[in-house]
A and B are shown apart, each in its own frame.
Chain A
Amino acid sequence: MQLKNVIDSPCGLRFMLDKLELQSGFARRWLLDSPMMTQGEEIVAAYDILHQFDTFIREVDKTYIDTLLFRLQGLKDIRTTIKNLHNQAVLDDIELFEIKHLAILATDVAKLLDKHGMADVVKIPALDKVIDILDPDGMKIATFYIYDSYCAELKDLRADMRQHPENQDDLMLQASELEEGVRKDLSKQLHPFAADIEQAQIALAQIDVNMAKAIQMREMGLVFPILSHDASSQYESMFHPQVKEALATHGRDFQPVDITYAMQPTLITGANMGGKTVVLKTLTLCQLLFQFGFGIPAAAARIAVKDEIYFCIGDEQSVEKGLSSFAAEMKNIDAVIKASRMNKRILALIDEPARTTNPTEGAALVSALLKVLSGKDMSLVMTTHYDIASSEARRLRVKGFENGEMDYQLVEVQDGEVPHEALNIAQSLGIDSEWINMARSLLGASPQPV
């Protein structure tokens, strides 16, 4: 699975990508094509590199960082040209220019990084020989044409052309044949460096991506996670950057949440508007950020690697496809159950399953789901409003509405009793009192003064 396959997950991953200040379009493409890491060592190695870039941007002078970022803007996507070089095609002037441009850029960036001991973090192959081939006059500037010094005969022809512009068309034709010979020769000389050139292009993209990730960590207050060696994951003061930003524009703060989960299914209950869905969104986001090597939005995080991540939420797209919301949801959860039998490490985050059907069958479906999924090699975090009698699940509850304010913290509870706060919350929203009081009297409670 590549990053581009999950970019539009409803957990809000796109927001993180949009806020990533990459310098080149090629780095963005390379990042979107990168596969999700599923090996612990791989993830540790990726964070190790990011760590060094993080230290680098913290310790090195800003003008220096800006120079490096500005240089990275020059990174172009020349994969087609490199492919032609691999295939021993004769490159044209534009392709030769692209290679020279990349070689000079790679050499400059390598020099900039080397000054601060960063040369070994992301290795850029030395391309001095490539530059020598394409810069016969030693000008060290990133422009290109078939230079006079490649071919004495060509040089004479061009001098002729300047002397006798009236013969230009004729001379031009002769010159173009000589130029083609030079291109053939240059392409042949460059062919052995094709792999190095390709590697240099990727290394530059990797540097661009790591710089952007490190800067994002600083700007959003993200942390480096620790790799969990068992199946448990643990977050301290976890937050959702996009929700946090949206709240900030209304002058409100995001209340961070602590949460831990392992192999035992976790059931989150709590009042409406208690942030249960946001918790699931954030857990999904964090897991994906972890396996694509980004900073984690929390004060501290210890995360277990998974092979597959499922986030099931009322999916509007399926509804657009003509499925009812119930059918869409059932199909999504069905995929989780099927995957749980495939011997893979799975994280499943399910938001209020069966909420659109009647409470009797709904509660039965949820209880049964817990039984079916418990004991599998998976971490399951699920939210619900139903009273579920289950010995399999561990229960977390949103603290809820207290003194007119919502406390979003999660607390561990023993019993299966779900909070009955819907009417209080509706009342605090200023919903019609005739309606709310009628509901209260149906429940046998006395109406409250408005």
Chain B
Amino acid sequence: MSIVGLEKNTGKTECLKYVLDRLPVQTKRIAVTSIGIDGETVDQVTRTQKPEIVLRKGMYFGTSETHYRQRRLVSELIDVSDENTSLGRVVTARALTGGKILLSGPSSASSLRRWMSDMRRLGIDLVIIDGALSRMSSASPAVSQSMILATGAAYSANINTLVSKTAHVVDLVNLELTSEKNCDTLSQLDKGLWFIDKQGELHTLDTMTSLSKDIHFQGMEDCETLYVAGALVDGFLEKVRKNKNLKQVELVVRDFTKIFVTPQQFRLFIKAGGRISVLQKSKLIAVTVNPTSPSGYVLDSDTLCARLSEAIRLPVYDLIKNNG
């Protein structure tokens, strides 16, 4: 499970703390790590207070050598990876007492995946990933099965904007899975643009990415499914929407982290009857809010939770308020 913040200071670390405090360490093997450099005691960008993570006895964790040396708990070393991050190699250990630690784990999604397969070998039941700023990749279903999204006044201080921007992300995370048949045909294709016609035949488009300026949808009258293996961007979505041959087409992307379109363009596409689906999906468990922005501006917590919950049809929690 990954915990992702839409912006710095949206309460992601608070959320992680909240979750860790409530997990059944006696019955489950739990490991915690972070992607990239995170977990400084004071936030390096905005200079606001940032809590260390408190681990409970028995929890496994992955952090950098530098932060391991600064730990304030007794822990047993299990592994030191070959991969170097800016804070040294990634160290895996098990907490023998409760205590505080700064988390800074593997620095890329692929090294994170390697670390997670090591955890599987250790018999870990649940890995929790503290996703760093703008590292949506850690929430990719290729890495984690489920996620918690942290949003708040730091993302936008205007309640309407905050609700609509957050709802957009939630819409993307909740995109439907495509059919199993499409999945089988498409999941091995890791680059390029492809389409499947009415006869179920797979064709490739000459253009490699959706970023290209000269995309022609020729010979695609029979197209049923259009697959973008890489990033999906505004211009491409607009072209699909305006092409009359592609009105009934199902647009497929690998997962929501590959979608880089503005809420406006996305809404226009859906309104025009367009369909977008994904090959892989993460389960969104909950959304948390931090109504306080680092500049000191505070939104009304109850209104915010209610408005957001209504927009996304999912439970929304203000953990700081509810946690006293």
Complex CA–CA separation, A94 to B75 (angstroms) = 11
**What 1/0 flags go to A143-178 for Cβ under 8 Å of B?**
111100000000000100110010011001001000
User: Which B residue sits closest to A92, measured CB to CB?
Assistant: B69
13 cross-chain CB contacts under 8 A: A93-B69, A93-B77, A97-B80, A98-B80, A101-B80, A143-B76, A144-B77, A145-B75, A146-B74, A168-B72, A168-B99, A172-B72, A172-B99
Whether B129 is near chain A, meaning CB under 8 Å from some CB there, is no
Sample of 14 more A-B contacts, CB < 8 Å, known A94-B80, A143-B76, A145-B96: A93-B77, A94-B68, A94-B69, A97-B80, A98-B80, A101-B80, A143-B77, A143-B94, A144-B76, A145-B74, A145-B93, A146-B74, A158-B97, A161-B74
Q: Using a CB-CB cutoff of 8 Å, which residues 83-113 of chain A contact chain B?
A: 92-94, 97-98, 101
**What 1/0 flags go to B72-105 for Cβ under 8 Å of A?**
1011111010100000000101101111000000
Whether A35 is near chain B, meaning CB under 8 Å from some CB there, is no
Which A residues lie within 8 Å of B255 (CB)?
A: none
Complex CA–CA separation, A145 to B73 (angstroms) = 11
Complex CA–CA separation, A94 to B97 (angstroms) = 18
Whether B65 is near chain A, meaning CB under 8 Å from some CB there, is yes
> A161 near B76 (CB under 8 angstroms)?
no
Closest CB pairs A-B (n = 6)? A97-B77, A145-B76, A144-B77, A143-B76, A143-B78, A172-B72
Which B residues lie within 8 Å of A92 (CB)?
A: 69
What DSSP secondary structure best describes chain A's contact surface? helix
Which B residues lie within 8 Å of A98 (CB)?
A: 80
User: Which A residue sits closest to B57, measured CB to CB?
Assistant: A162
Complex CA–CA separation, A25 to B75 (angstroms) = 28
Q: State how many angstroms separate the Cβ of B189 from the closest Cβ of chain A.
A: 22
Complex CA–CA separation, A172 to B70 (angstroms) = 12
Which B residues lie within 8 Å of A94 (CB)?
A: 65, 68-69, 77, 80, 91
Complex CA–CA separation, A85 to B138 (angstroms) = 38
User: Which B residue sits closest to A165, measured CB to CB?
Assistant: B98
Interface size class of B (residues with CB under 8 A): 10 to 19
Which A residues lie within 8 Å of B69 (CB)?
A: 92-94
What DSSP secondary structure best describes chain B's contact surface? strand
Complex CA–CA separation, A144 to B97 (angstroms) = 15
**What 1/0 flags go to A313-354 for Cβ under 8 Å of B?**
000000000000000000000000000000000000000000
- Number of chain A residues close to chain B: CB under 8 A: 21
Whether A191 is near chain B, meaning CB under 8 Å from some CB there, is no
User: Which B residue sits closest to A179, measured CB to CB?
Assistant: B74
Whether A76 is near chain B, meaning CB under 8 Å from some CB there, is yes
> B82 near A76 (CB under 8 angstroms)?
yes
Q: State how many angstroms separate the Cβ of A102 from the closest Cβ of chain B.
A: 11
Q: State how many angstroms separate the Cβ of B47 from the closest Cβ of chain A.
A: 24
> B74 near A158 (CB under 8 angstroms)?
yes
Q: State how many angstroms separate the Cβ of A101 from the closest Cβ of chain B.
A: 8
Complex CA–CA separation, A201 to B142 (angstroms) = 36
> A169 near B77 (CB under 8 angstroms)?
no
Which B residues lie within 8 Å of A97 (CB)?
A: 77, 80
The contact of B97 among A93, A146, A161, by CB within 8 Å, is: A161
The contact of B82 among A25, A143, A175, by CB within 8 Å, is: A25
Complex CA–CA separation, A175 to B72 (angstroms) = 11
**What 1/0 flags go to A56-97 for Cβ under 8 Å of B?**
000000000000000000001100000000000000111001
Which B residues lie within 8 Å of A168 (CB)?
A: 72, 99
Which A residues lie within 8 Å of B75 (CB)?
A: 145
Which A residues lie within 8 Å of B65 (CB)?
A: 94
Q: State how many angstroms separate the Cβ of A356 from the closest Cβ of chain B.
A: 38
The contact of B72 among A77, A145, A158, A169, by CB within 8 Å, is: A169
The contact of B80 among A76, A145, A158, A175, by CB within 8 Å, is: A76
Complex CA–CA separation, A145 to B68 (angstroms) = 12
Which A residues lie within 8 Å of B82 (CB)?
A: 25, 76-77
Greatest chain B CB density within 10 A among A92, A94, A158, A168 is at: A94
Complex CA–CA separation, A92 to B82 (angstroms) = 18
Which A residues lie within 8 Å of B99 (CB)?
A: 168, 172
Which B residues lie within 8 Å of A145 (CB)?
A: 74-77, 93, 96
Complex CA–CA separation, A169 to B97 (angstroms) = 13
User: Which A residue sits closest to B76, measured CB to CB?
Assistant: A145
Which A residues lie within 8 Å of B96 (CB)?
A: 145
Complex CA–CA separation, A145 to B97 (angstroms) = 12
Which B residues lie within 8 Å of A172 (CB)?
A: 72, 99
